[in-house]
């Protein structure tokens, strides 16, 4: 275990003016608070905060961040409080520790809706002080390095969360080394056989070809010395996950994969970067299409470097990155370089970006997206994106993710230009809107008044900004169409009842049917969410225009008179969900949810498919649904959960425990509900209960009829 003297020595290497006394006080306080607590490995728990603080010294961070690392679990796991930390270490440290605690309590690997909301909270926390996420990333890195002591299912959960959220976030912040290590540690848990296979191939390759990295590094140094370019050269084999991802993307076997080695040339001055590039291309053949100049066009997180791939010794492709020492510091620390210290002073690296401006560019469009799925898609697209740089006709540079199209380019300029786009010219030539743009191309967008986004555009664009704008426009277009249709349906229904349609009548009906206003009522009637005769009946019950009674045995439309009906036990569809009927000899029709995995078994039997839909109306609470809950093992929690379900007019028909741990229980609850809206009410209430760690709707493919 690292000692307090070791930690202070690491800090003094870059910050001789560090407040040693305060760090010692934080160390003693943290060790005292965690006394008696053990990690899964059996080590004293405080070894973890100490290791996190040591990791942050590699980024040369300030005392407040290091003290936060030492105390980051105290509020959550000990009797320590916010006010006590503020009194002992100051308001800044207390707020940072509180921010890390809140991030720790966000279950990012949860349901889509909850995951989207929690990632939104994570981004908000980042915008307040980016050092919070730096501590959290270091915390996750150390946990992943020591993950072997956890239960296998817990390892898999943490690894997936790391691969989906934390690794791409580290990459988006410019901390590429951390992203690669987090990905590879997750890869070791999720795909151990694949990783071991790649490592075995590496060993075989080294045995056959010798130390390729040493030889190629020597070749590069020799050429640079001959040209009088002063530079350091480093080489390495790429991480197993990076190689495996390339194999998947390019559909290549290991033996056919190129550029599995990476080299860096670190120069003193910017001019030397381009001299080194010239030396490299004169000596070795450059691979077409594999050159990127991030010095003249930096990434938004401050990253600057020249990337090129050449055919090196024995025809092997190698990737070379060329940058100055200052650029290299930013490439290693990313946005964290803004806080880096050298010789006791904040390091004034000219390439470090202002975190406030960077987080603004990252979250610019996130707040405008209300749809959870769209927001989650937007975030992941932004975090995983590799960039291309294209030019407007006036010479302005537009940054886009790899694979972007002219439509993405148009929406990046302005939403109105994207909505009115009819075609595009790339480098002066007219191209289809689905064309993938490349670095350095000039794009001219052609617009026309009256043009509106098409539904097919969703599949063409790749940026979250474009997808969100297109969806908003399509929703607006659909709404206008539904309002017009609803007007006509209501006119016919009111005439049939001998009544007049008026704004006042529709306003009253909206209030009776719990709809916001008359316009929304028209839209829902047009979308077939509410029938026109139901509106008439709500206002004039004496007209007799009643909704059809729901037959509990046949609550769906689409069955023949002699066909029986039952719900599939594998997906347990509810009223309000899209359903498909499958005919069974002797069993009648079994209704499956439209996204049920069991439907894949019948893709080649279209004659057995029946298009069904639920009869609109109030269904009795007789539809059983299985919920999978994880709750904390505390007094009264199970009672509160059962009460919550009962308060929402749902009946528990069965309850059984499937996993009991000292801290959490996992249980399966059978609940009787009216429909999908009722289910959402119950799930929302359970998600809001702090003692409920996880809530999912359980579906079991093994129960296929």
Among the listed residues 11, 128, 103, the one whose alpha carbon sits nearest the alpha carbon of residue 64? 11
- Cα(276)–Cα(255) distance, integer angstroms: 30
* Residue 603 DSSP code: T
Rounded to an integer, what distance in angstroms lies between the CA atom of residue 424 and that of residue 435? 10
What do you get for the CA distance between the two ends of the chain, in Å? 56
Nearest-angstrom CA–CA distance, 430 and 449 = 19
Candidates 19, 20, 58, 76; catalytic one: 76
Q: For residue 17, give the 3-state DSSP assignment.
A: coil
Instruction: Give the residue among 26, 14, 91, 29 at the shortest CA–CA distance from 60.
Output: 14
Residues in the chain: 705
Q: Which of 77, 117, 223, 628 is catalytic?
A: 77
**What's the half-sphere exposure (Cβ side, CA atoms, 13 Å) at 637?**
18
Q: Which helix (H) or strand (E) element contains residue 656?
A: strand 651-660
Contacts of 598 (CB under 8 A, 6+ apart): 568, 570, 571, 592, 701, 704, 705
Burial class (CB in 10 A: 0-12, 13-18, 19+), 256: exposed
For β-strands 345-346 and 341-342, DSSP reports them as: antiparallel
Question: Mind giving me the DSSP string for 104-137?
Answer: HT---SS-HHHHHHHHHHHHHHHHH-THHHHHHH
Question: Which candidate, 645, 655, 654, places its Cα nearest to that of 683?
Answer: 645
Look at residues 539, 545, 591, 544 and name the one whose alpha carbon lies nearest to residue 570.
591
Largest CA distance in the chain: 100
Residue 456, phi then psi, degrees to nearest 5? -70, -20
Q: How far apart are alpha carbons 54 and 11 in whole angstroms?
A: 9
Active site residue 272: no
77 is catalytic: yes
Q: Which two tokens stand for residue 154?
A: 């817990």
CB 140 within 8 A of CB 108: no
Helices 82-89 and 20-33: crossing angle in degrees, nearest 10, is 160
Residues serving a catalytic function are 76-77
């Amino acid at each position: 275990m690292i000692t307090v003297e070791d930690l202070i020595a690491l800090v003094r290497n870059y910050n001789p003016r560090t407040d040693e006394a305060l760090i010692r006080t934080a160390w003693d306080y943290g060790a005292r608070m965690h006394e008696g607590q053990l990690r899964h490995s059996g080590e004293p728990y405080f070894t973890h905060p100490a290791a996190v603080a040591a990791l942050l010294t590699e980024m040369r961070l300030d005392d407040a961040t290091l003290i936060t690392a030492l105390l980051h679990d105290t509020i959550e796991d000990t009797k320590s409080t916010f006010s006590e930390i503020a009194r002992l270490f100051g308001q800044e440290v207390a707020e940072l520790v509180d921010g890390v605690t809140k991030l720790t309590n966000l279950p990012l690997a949860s349901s889509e809706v909850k995951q989207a909301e929690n990632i939104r909270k994570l981004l908000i926390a980042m915008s307040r002080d980016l050092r919070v996420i730096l501590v959290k990333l270091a915390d996750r890195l150390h946990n992943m390095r020591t993950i072997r002591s956890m239960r296998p299912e817990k390892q898999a959960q943490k690894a997936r969360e790391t691969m989906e959220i934390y690794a791409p976030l580290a990459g988006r912040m410019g901390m590429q080394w951390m992203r690669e290590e987090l990905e590879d540690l997750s890869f070791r848990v999720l795909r151990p056989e694949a990783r071991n296979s790649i490592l075995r191939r590496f060993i075989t390759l080294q045995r056959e070809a010798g130390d390729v990295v040493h030889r190629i590094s020597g070749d590069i140094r020799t050429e640079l010395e001959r040209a009088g370019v002063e530079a350091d050269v480093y080489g390495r084999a790429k991480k197993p996950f990076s190689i495996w991802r390339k194999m998947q993307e390019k559909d290549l076997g290991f033996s056919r994969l190129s550029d599995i080695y990476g080299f860096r040339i670190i120069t003193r001055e910017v001019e030397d970067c381009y001299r080194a590039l010239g030396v490299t291309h004169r000596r070795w053949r450059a691979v077409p299409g594999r050159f990127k100049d991030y010095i003249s066009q930096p990434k938004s997180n401050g990253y600057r470097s020249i990337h090129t791939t050449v055919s090196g010794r024995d025809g092997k492709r190698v990737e070379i990155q060329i940058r100055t020492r200052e650029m290299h510091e930013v490439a290693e620390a990313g946005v964290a370089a803004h806080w880096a210290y050298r010789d006791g002073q904040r390091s004034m690296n000219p390439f470090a970006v202002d975190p406030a401006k960077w987080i603004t560019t990252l979250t610019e469009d996130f707040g405008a997206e209300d749809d959870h799925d769209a927001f989650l898609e937007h975030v992941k697209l932004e975090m995983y994106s590799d960039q291309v740089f294209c030019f407007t006709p006036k010479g302005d540079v537009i940054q886009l993710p790899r694979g972007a199209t002219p439509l993405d380019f148009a929406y990046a300029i302005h939403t109105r230009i994207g909505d009115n786009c009819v075609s595009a010219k790339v480098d002066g030539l007219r191209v289809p809107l689905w064309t993938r743009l490349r670095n350095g191309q000039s794009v001219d967008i052609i617009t026309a008044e009256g043009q509106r986004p098409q539904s097919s555009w969703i599949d063409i664009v790749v940026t979250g900004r474009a997808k969100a704008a297109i969806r908003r426009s399509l929703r607006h277009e659909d709404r206008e169409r539904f309002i017009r249709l609803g007007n006509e349906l209501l006119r016919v229904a009111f005439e049939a009842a001998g009544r007049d349609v008026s704004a006042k009548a529709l306003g009253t009906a909206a209030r009776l049917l719990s709809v916001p206003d008359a316009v929304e009522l028209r839209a829902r009637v047009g979308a077939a969410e509410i029938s026109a005769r139901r509106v008439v009946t709500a206002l004039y019950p004496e007209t007799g225009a009643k909704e059809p009674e729901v037959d509990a045995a046949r609550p769906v439309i689409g069955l023949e008179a002699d066909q029986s009906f039952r719900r599939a036990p594998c997906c347990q569809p509810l009223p309000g969900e899209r359903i498909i009927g499958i005919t069974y000899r002797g069993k009648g029709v079994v209704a499956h949810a439209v996204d049920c995995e069991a439907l894949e078994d019948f893709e080649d039997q279209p004659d057995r498919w029946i298009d069904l839909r639920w009869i609109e109306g109030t269904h009795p609470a007789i539809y059983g649904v299985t919920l999978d809950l994880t709750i904390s093992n505390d007094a009264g929690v199970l009672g509160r959960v059962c009460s919550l379900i009962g308060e929402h007019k749902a009946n528990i028909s069965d309850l059984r425990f499937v996993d009991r741990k000292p801290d959490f229980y996992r249980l399966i609850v059978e609940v009787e509900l009216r429909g999908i809206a009722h289910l959402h009410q119950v799930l929302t209430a359970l998600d809001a209960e702090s003692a409920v760690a996880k809530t999912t709707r359980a579906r079991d493919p093994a129960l296929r009829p």
